[in-house]
Amino acid sequence: MGRGGAVRAGPARALCPHGVRTTRVPWGEPGSRFTLLFERLEIAWLREATPTAVARRLGLTWDETRGIMARAVRRGLARRQPAVVPPLGIDETRFLKRHQYVSVVVDLDAARILPVADDRHAVSLAPFFEGLSEAQRTGITALAMDMWEPYRKTLRVHVPEADRKIVFDAFHVMQHVLPTVDTVRKQEHRALAAAGTSPLTRTEDAWLNNPTTCSAKAWREFAALRDSPLQTARAWAMKERLRHLWDYTDVGAARTCSRRWYGWAMRSRLEPMKKFARMRQRPLEHILTYLKHRITNAVTEGPNAKIPWIKYSARGYRDRETFKMAIYFHCGGLDLEPHVG
């Protein structure tokens, strides 16, 4: 008898010419100390709760729980069949407070993560694309991604006509403009506070929130600030005008809007906004490709939404391989359970 009254049984051993061999048993996999049914039970629990909680409730150690997860992921990856995946999303996520990252490629149609690669360098995703067949690479129709140059370098090498397929959606571009608006606010707040009082005290959220998610009360309270002659109000207006670029359906009209916005930013005398405008103008074509492909890789959608939960539920992974394994387990769309019978 084992822990909690569990039955313990060792598989039979046979003496072969090459030494003692352990015989295979129908109720367990090689290298596992648990039955197939028990592993199926734990996998079901791990889909719903943290590894620590599951280990505690089932009377296991962390290493035993991690071993079951690892076997499940290896099993699922071995069963995955190659296929042409037309629209892809590429993103990175930090797994420690330090700047350590993993890169992921998302199958946007099936809402599953394909590879999880170390770091976010130009070579990080190269093995994945090199492992695709010519038909698979040619079959990629669009790639939603951040404005991160190393990823673009990889795609240009491995994906035919990559520049016509790369999409910078609103979510990723706004991720860059929001800190720019906040930089304007901080600079202006320091100057006003040094001269007396500043109306920008504790207003960060008001400037950065999406108006479509604000309550009517918060929008009314924000009216005096956004209609003021503050530099931050001008930066906010530019941010909101840029957000509407993705509402266009005609590429020519969107290009005209973008050109006018760029001129507005360069005449604004706001150095952070001018710097952002120059950065955004270089990859403009990849922003306009959104109007054709209409795909997004926003973290509020699909498997990317689960990754912050994975990090939080584990209270931070100190081991990159364990973090990658957890992403595959929860977001890979894998067939994880051992087949019984």
Answer yes or no: are the C-beta atoms of 160 and 143 closer than 8 Å. no
| Residue 259: Cβ within 10 Å count | 12
Burial 265-285 (b: 16+ CB within 10 A, else e): beebebebbbebbeebeebbe
What three-state secondary structure class fits 265?
A: helix
Residues 106 and 88: their CA atoms lie apart, in Å, by: 6
Residues 99 and 92: their CA atoms lie apart, in Å, by: 11
- Among 181-190, 255-264, 292-301, the least confident range: 292-301
Beta bridge partners of 87: 142
Structure confidence by residue, pLDDT tens digits, 151-191: 999 999 999 999 999 998 788 888 889 999 999 999 999 99
On the question of pLDDT at 45 being above 90, the answer is yes
For the chain, give the mean pLDDT.
Answer: 87
On the question of pLDDT at 34 being above 90, the answer is no
Write down the pTM of the prediction: 0.80
Of 225 and 149, more confident: 225
Query: What pLDDT, on the 0 to 100 scale, is given for residue 319?
Result: 80
Query: What pLDDT, on the 0 to 100 scale, is given for residue 2?
Result: 47
On the question of pLDDT at 146 being above 60, the answer is yes
